[in-house]
Structure 1
Amino acid sequence: MSEEIIVAGWMDYEPADRDTMLGHLVEVGKRTREEEPGCLDYAMTADPTDDRRIRVFERWVSQQALDEHFTTAHIKDFRAAVTGLTRLGVSMEIFSIGASRSMR
């Protein structure tokens, strides 16, 4: 049994580019959730306290599912679409999760 994977962190963009990037991320997230059965969650959100920051949260059934994600046509299209946007910084981590439980 493989471990679930969580990708979490942030990306900073020039304030003038953040909303454009976020729009592209919303589209790629929609396609990822619809087309990739290995994706359990995929959320990119604007940080309400920082006009540069996009918060990242992804959850995958396995490392293999995440690796395959980067080879999809919609990721290639996304990368082409965001060429030219100015990223100022990034901090992303990958977590391997062996077990989880509900907080209920």
Structure 2
Amino acid sequence: MAEEIIVSGWMDYEPGDRHTMLAALVELGRRTREEEPGCLDYAMTADPTDERRIRVYEHWTSRQALDEHFATPHIKDFRTAVAGLTRVRVSLTAHTVAASHPMR
């Protein structure tokens, strides 16, 4: 069985670009969750205390599923839609999950 992957971190955009980026991410997230069976969760959210920051959380069944995500038509559409936006900084990390258990 492949090990699951979690991508987490943040992306900072110019304050005027963050709203446009978040709108594009809503559509990307919807299509990713609906069309990619290897996607377990996909959430990009506005940080409530920083007008530039978007928090990132992705959960994938495998590294292969994540790699295939970057070749999908909806990723290409997304990249075209946000091509003019200014990303200032980014900090994203892919974590390989060794074990998981439910929290109570």
TM-score (norm: length of structure 1)? 0.99
Give the aligned length. Answer: 104
Distance 1:77 1:32 in 2: 12
Give the match for residue 86 of structure 1: 86
Gaps of 5+ in 2: none
User: How does 1:1-104 map onto structure 2 within 5 Å?
Assistant: 1-104=1-104
Q: What CA deviation, in whole Å up to 9, does each residue of 1:34-81 have, x standing for no partner?
A: 000000000000000000000000000000000000000000000011
How far 1:98 moved relative to its partner?
1.6
Distance 1:64 1:47 in 2: 29
Distance 2:98 2:4 in 1: 7
Large movers: runs of 4+ above 2 Å: none
**Amino acid corresponding to residue 35 of structure 1 in structure 2:** E
**What's the Cα RMSD here?**
0.4
TM-score (norm: length of structure 2)? 0.99
